Amino acid sequence: MKTRISLLAAVAAGTALATNAFAQSAKDVRGASPYVAIENEPAPKLIVDPPLPEGLAIGVFWAQYRVENLRIVPVFGSGAAQASPRVGHLHVIVDDLPWWWADASDNNTVDIANLPPGQRAIDPLTGEEVMRPDPDPPTR
């Protein structure tokens, strides 16, 4: 019985140490509090993975993404450009078409179905490109 208690105590202590060693604060994971403006806020950054082969095999473009220094939320217009911490949405452009759409869902995957087979130029934009005050689509 004494051995079992010692073992349980050792496992509990090891778990506590491991949890503390790998723990991240809420700020580390979620970013800055929305209640405090950020001085000298770094530029937003968009990281997009290659399309998922499982989607391409069935004619669907799925590409996961993540952003840094930006919260994807359904906020539009000049107010979004003034917010700190920075908020915004993605503009997704396909094949340099004259139209685009905005994704404000932060579901982390661009999803485009029923594209004809072939090479495509799919360009998700964020940051200053998203905050453009004019109605013209951003271009590369």
pLDDT at 16: 57
pLDDT at 4: 61
**Helix intervals (H) in 23-137:** 26-30, 53-56, 78-82
Q: What is the pLDDT of residues 72-87, one digit of tens each?
A: 888 877 777 778 878 8
Using a pLDDT cut of 90, give the percent of the chain over it: 2
Q: pTM for the whole thing?
A: 0.61
Q: Is 129's pLDDT higher than 60? A: no
The string of DSSP codes covering 82-110 is H-SS-EE-EEEEETT-S--EEE-S--SEE
Across the strands, what pairs with 124? 92
Residues 6 or more apart in contact with residue 103 via CB below 8 angstroms:
72, 89, 90, 92, 110, 124
| Most confident by average pLDDT, 54-58, 106-110, 127-131 | 54-58
Q: What is the pLDDT of residues 18-53, one digit of tens each?
A: 555 567 888 888 777 878 888 888 888 888 899 899
Q: What is the pLDDT of residues 57-69, one digit of tens each?
A: 888 888 898 888 8
